[in-house]
């Protein structure tokens, strides 16, 4: 929804996304409270404990994804009121890649699929590269159109919010790996694991 609001400069859709964030916040609190009750009442160990810890972290990442979607929607409401500037950057492509990462991370969670989770992690570098491309392009346009800095800064921030959603999708994928293999795989260890398995990103 957030990506569609960017593509169409849809202020009405953006407002729906902003309102939906309050519901996501409430759900996040409910899930965390249930997890804490389970920890207190049943004192789970081993695999069960690992599952509860992962759910708490994933729950938090999903709530933050909601926050980033709200941030995008707020930017869209601002730029929708102003004259459009054509920028040689494909926000649709970036949005679709980020949405694909999120879908795959949740599929990996449902299926407990470690390879799919690793593929999500591999895609994160692609999104980072796209965000850097957006920064470079928008800086050039800022120099050409200094009178439209506000509009362009909002576009810049939208690319940043999309990149942060990709980061949270990667966090979810890392928790899936932790659930399946019982190993925390982040930073250098994640790079080693990707190289070891020769995982290449599969874009959709």
Domains along the sequence of the chain with CATH? 2-197 (1.20.58.220)
Phi/psi of residue 186, nearest 5 degrees: -145, 165
Q: Given pLDDT bands bounded at 50, 70 and 90, which one contains residue 2?
A: low
Q: Among 106, 13, 114, which residue's Cα sits nearest to residue 59?
A: 106
pLDDT at residue 153, as a whole number: 94
List pLDDT tens digits, range 107-148: 999 999 999 999 999 999 999 999 999 999 999 999 999 999
Eight-state DSSP code of residue 146 = G
> Mean pLDDT of all residues in the chain?
87
Model confidence at 198: pLDDT above 90:
no
How many residues are present in the chain?
204
Query: Would the pLDDT of 5 be above 60?
Result: no
Residue, of 126 and 185, whose pLDDT is higher: 126
Instruction: Provide the strand spans (E) within the chain.
Output: none
CB 132 within 8 A of CB 63: no
Q: Which residues of 158-170 are buried (b: 16+ CB within 10 A; e: fewer)?
A: bbbbbbbbbbbbb
In whole angstroms, what is the distance from residue 105 CA to residue 96 CA?
A: 14
Please give the share of the chain, as a percent, with pLDDT higher than 90: 63
- Residues whose CB is less than 8 angstroms from the CB of residue 94 and which lie 6 or more positions away in sequence, other chains included: 127, 130, 131, 134, 159, 162
3-class DSSP state of 32: helix
């Amino acid at each position: 929804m957030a990506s569609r609001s960017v593509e169409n400069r849809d202020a009405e859709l953006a407002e729906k996304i902003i309102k939906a964030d309050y519901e996501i916040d409430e759900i996040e609190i409910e899930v965390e409270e249930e997890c804490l009750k389970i920890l207190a009442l049943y004192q789970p160990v081993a695999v069960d404990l690992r599952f509860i810890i992962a759910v708490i972290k994933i729950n938090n990442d999903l709530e933050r994804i909601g926050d980033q979607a709200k941030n995008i929607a707020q930017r869209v409401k601002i730029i929708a009121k102003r004259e459009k500037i054509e920028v040689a950057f494909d926000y649709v492509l970036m949005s679709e890649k980020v949405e694909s990462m999120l879908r795959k991370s949740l599929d990996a969670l449902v299926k407990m699929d470690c390879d799919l989770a690793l593929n999500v992690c591999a895609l994160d570098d692609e999104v980072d590269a796209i965000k850097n491309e957006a920064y470079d392009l928008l800086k050039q346009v800022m120099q050409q159109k200094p009178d439209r800095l506000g509009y362009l800064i909002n576009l810049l921030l939208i690319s940043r919010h999309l990149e942060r959603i990709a980061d949270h999708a990667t966090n979810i994928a890392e928790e899936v790996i932790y659930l399946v293999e019982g190993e925390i795989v982040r930073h250098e260890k994640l790079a080693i694991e990707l190289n070891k398995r020769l995982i290449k990103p599969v874009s959709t």
